[in-house]
Structure 1
Amino acid sequence: MNKLILLIGALLLAVTSCSENKTEIPTKEKPLLKTIQEINPSNGTTTTFTYEGDKITQASAGLYMGVYKIIYTYTGDLITQEDGYINNVLYVSTEYTYENSKLKTVIYKETNSGTISLAMNLNKLVYTYVSENSVDIDIYTYSNNNWELRTPFSKVKIYFSGGNITKREQFTANGGVSSIVYEYDNSPNIYKNIMGFDKLFFTSSFTNTFNRHFNIQDISNTNNIIHTESDHYKYNYNSDGFPVEKRSYYTDTVYLVEKIYSYY
């Protein structure tokens, strides 16, 4: 009888232990970016993000010419198109293709829609992954019914480490090169949990005059930029470790508030 009691006790202890172990698994859902408020007095805009699950469907902002918005299209878990509108009129379109879940080409189109006179402008980026930590980007423009390497800047090379862009080199057709080196904090990037943003390494590779209005920058990094050759930043964080306030260098002792982020 005593052996039976001991056996039952051991079984109950095992069941209790398994139950306790299950409750220890964290289930807290990480937040998605809701808004970016630009504090700069010359701008003062607020960008709002809309989702279906963790896939972004739209980014919108009220600017000097009206309502700007970007509509995102997915194929599976990858963003394959972005369409930029001003007051519901299409102005730009960006198409993405992938190879082995890595970004392969980007085609950026400006249209002649609306009241702004925009000359048709076509740019194409072709990505060649040199290693797990670097990628070459050849930049083309469409001219004379053909894709031609853009002048004067026809190539960009990006270096990665730990999911962050550590250096960006820009090359001219005659072999000249300029570079930017980046340093990061240890906290999650504001776009970290938006599906597909980690694949879009095009940021700052060429001038996208539409996306810059939304402050959608550095979307491919794991962490948040704190230092480049010309910029210095500090952040305040929420309980999940995400930035809620970004400050930029003003003097040796003063960093001015530049952006405020909110999540849900």
Structure 2
Amino acid sequence: MKRLNKYISDTGFCSRREADKLIEQGRVKVNGEKPELGTKIGDADKVSVDGKVISAVPENKSDRVYLAYHKPVGITCTTERKIKGNIIDAIGYHQRIFPIGRLDKPSEGLILLTNDGDIVNKILRAENAHEKRYRVNVNKPITPAFLKKMSEGVPILNTVTLPCEVKQVGKMSFDIVLTQGLNRQIRRMCEYLGYDVTRLIRNSIMHIRLGNLKVGQYRKLRDDELQQLNAQVQHSVKTSSRNASV
């Protein structure tokens, strides 16, 4: 037996959180009946969303897709097709996929997309565990005091950001490595210290790098990247989730 939201997520239709919303909205049926949240299903049960039957994922996940995408500025990381500039229409992939986490609309860079709901859940549960590297341009010269405060922690959103690695790379640019995903974290940190971000690009997520991928382009993850990704999230444990854009 498997929880209904996990079954839907594992098929690649959406994340578990989105599956719960679909169930609450009455868009999901099990054997023709509307289920409750927390419903468990077996192999013989038929699950449909908006009247369309969805099939279970093969045990070997042979039909799963894992993409690295260079998100352009102006694209919103949502699967809601009614929202103009959504990431699904922007990437135009022929299979149903959804983004792992978010990257805010004014930012660009690496974001991963997949139809493997299981790996999405594991990555999003492992908050404060996975490094993400960003190149940031600001509107005025960077000072040693700015670098020190950014690296030690900045009070935003009723908390203090975790210590992080910050390195100046130009008069008005720096690299920063985060293990958090607070809402618009880098922008809020800079604003608190009197700086405005003029460009923000995410260059890597864990071991997966943007590399030479041009804006708007995507590629499939290599086998070695996928193997390492699975190894890193294998023991993910549930934590409070604040997976927001940076």
TM-score, structure 1 length as denominator? 0.24
Higher relative contact order (CA 8 A, sep 6+): 2
Whose helix proportion is higher, 1 or 2? 2
State the structure with more CA Rg: 1
Whose strand proportion is higher, 1 or 2? 1
TM-score, structure 2 length as denominator? 0.25
